[in-house]
Amino acid sequence: MFIAVHGGAGNLSQKSDKEVRKILRTACQCAQAENDTSPRDVIQHVETAIKVLEDADVFNAGYGSNLTLSQTVECDASIMSARLQDFGAVGSLASVRNPIRVARELLGVNRVPDSLGRIQPMLLVGQGAQDFAQRFPDTIVPPESLITPKARELWLRWTNDGNDEVMQDTVGAIAFGKGDDGLLDGAAGVSSGGLLLKYPGRVGEAAIYGAGCWADMQNGIGILCSISGAGEYIMRAALAKSASEAVSKALQFDEDIHDALEQVFTSFCNNTKRRDPRRPNAGAIIMTSVEKEDDVQVRLWVVFTAASMSIAYKSPGMPKVKSEVLRHPNPTASDPSIYITAITLE
Instruction: Tell me the catalytic residues.
Output: 170
- The phi, psi pair for 201, rounded to 5°, reads 95, -10
Asked whether the beta carbons of 63 and 51 are under 8 A apart, the reply is no
CA max distance for the chain? 61
| Strand positions, DSSP E, the chain | 2-10, 75-81, 87-93, 123-125, 171-178, 184-192, 213-218, 221-229, 282-292, 295-304, 308-314, 322-327, 339-345
Q: What residues contact residue 15 under an 8 Å CB cut-off, 6+ apart?
A: none
Asked whether the beta carbons of 227 and 239 are under 8 A apart, the reply is yes
Helices (H) and strands (E) in the chain, counts: 8, 13
Whether the CA torsion 42, 10, 191, 217 is positive or negative: it is negative
Short-list 220, 303, 221, CA closest to 259? 303
Dihedral angle computed from the Cα positions of residues 254, 174, 205 and 202, in that order, rounded to the nearest 10 degrees: 180
Give the Cα separation of 203 and 116 in Å (integer).
Answer: 29
Whether the CA torsion 48, 32, 245, 264 is positive or negative: it is positive
